[in-house]
Amino acid sequence: MHRRPLDLTLYLVTDTRMCGGPAEVAATAVAAVEGGVTLVQVRDPHADDREFTSLARGVTTALAGSGVPVLLNDRVHLVAETGAHGAHVGQHDLDVRAARELLGPDLLLGLSCQSVAHVDAVDELLEEDPQMLDYLGIGPVWEQATKPDAAQPGGIERLVDLGARTPLPCVAIGGIDVHRIGLVARSGVAGAAVVSAICTSPHPTLSAHRLRQAWEENR
C-alpha cells in the first residue's frame, strides 16, 4: 500500500450534530464529494471509540472507490480498523512521531498549526523524516463556531505568513464559506477546509459545488 494522492483543494471536516446525527454523516460526505470535495476528515470529539469506529466505517465504506481519501481526526489507533487512509492530529493530540509510527509509512498524516512556533517545529520533524507529515492545517483564519477551544483567528495575513514558512502543502480552516473561499484561494495555500458551510447545508452537493467553483475562479 502507498499513500493516496493528496488533493487538498476542498477539504470537508464532518460534524455529526451539524449533519443531523450519526446516520447522516456518510450521506453528507457522499453528497459533498459529488459536489467537488477532494478530502474528508471524520471528526467527532464527543463519540467514544465504539461510536466513532461505526461512524468512520460508514464514511470509508460509502466513499470506497471514489478516489477521495478519508482521514480520522485524532483517533490514530482506529485508522486500520476503520479502513481510513490516515489521520489528522492537533497540537494537543497524539505526538506526531508516535502517530507516524502507528500509521506506518504508507498512510496520510496532517497536523494543525496555529502559530509561527508550531510551523517552525515542523522543520525539525521533517529533518528526522521528510515523509513524517503530508500537509499542515492552518487556522483558524476567521471566527468559527465548531471548536470552542480554538485559537484566536489570525486572518489572511497569518495564513500567508505561516504557509510561506513550510515546504509542506497547507490547508486553511476556520470560518471559510462561499464568500470567503476566494480570499483563501488567492493566498497561495493548497486548499480550504470547511465544516458548517457543508454540514449545515440542506443541499451538500450544491454547497460543495459552489465552494469548489469559487475556489477555481479565484485560484
Q: What domains does the chain contain, in order, with CATH numbers? A: 10-218 (3.20.20.70)
| pLDDT grade for 145, boundaries at 50, 70 and 90 | low
Please give the grid coordinates belonging to residue 53: 469506529
Q: Where are the alpha helices (DSSP H) in the chain?
A: 16-19, 22-35, 49-63, 79-82, 96-103, 116-128, 155-164, 181-186, 196-199, 204-218
Q: What is the mean pLDDT of residues 16-29?
A: 97
pLDDT in tens, 72-109: 999 999 999 999 999 999 999 999 999 999 999 999 99
Cis check for the bond before 140: say yes or no (omega within 30 of 0): yes
Rounded to two decimals, the pTM is: 0.94
